[in-house]
Amino acid sequence: MKIITKNKYAYLNYDIHEKFESGVVLKGFETKAVKLGKVNIKDSFIQVRGGEIFILNMDIPLYNKTSFNIVPWYDSKRNRKLLMKKPQIARLYERTKKTGLVLIPLKVYENKRKLVKIEIGLAKLRKKVEKKQIIKERDIQRQASKDIKRLKI
């Protein structure tokens, strides 16, 4: 499994309850661009509409060897359909509507069969106070590990 990109801010801004794997419908030149690492999922989110699931605002710029004359209609932030089973989509829809949880992309990766997959997180938005506490705990942990390494040398 080759990780193409991660949503680093998702783990700070959200409390992730559950993770799911999903395929994504891409054009040929988009797949090439994604495999080169030219994808941004920082501001993207996932929405369930009409029994289907879509990722919105995922930015995939045009592959550098693709001529803009061939695809003048290309929109890098278009809505892309995700591939999941219907019962799973229905369950995600219920969870997001009833409990107020949101769906966010956590990472984009290439699986063993060289297919592009997206890891989706069912998450709850954290408050500003909780984020500050997490940052503080990480700093304390980092400083403690530095002190331990320094004392062992």
pLDDT tens for the chain, residues 1 to 153: 889 999 988 888 888 999 999 999 998 888 888 898 889 998 899 999 988 999 999 998 888 777 666 677 878 888 999 999 999 999 999 999 988 899 999 999 999 999 999 999 999 988 888 888 888 998 999 999 999 888 876
CA distance 47 to 64: 29
Cβ atoms of residues 122 and 98 within 8 Å: no
If we measure between CA atoms, which residue out of 117, 92, 122, 116 comes closest to residue 104?
A: 122
Per-domain residue ranges of the chain: 2-126
Residue 76 is predicted with a pLDDT of 80
Residue 151 is predicted with a pLDDT of 85
What does pTM read for this prediction?
A: 0.79
CA distance 48 to 136: 35
Count each helix (H run) and each strand (E run) in the chain, helices first. 4, 7
Dump strand ranges (E) for 30-79: 45-49, 52-56
Query: 2-126 adopts what CATH topology?
Result: Small Protein B; Chain: A; (2.40.280)
CA distance 105 to 83: 14
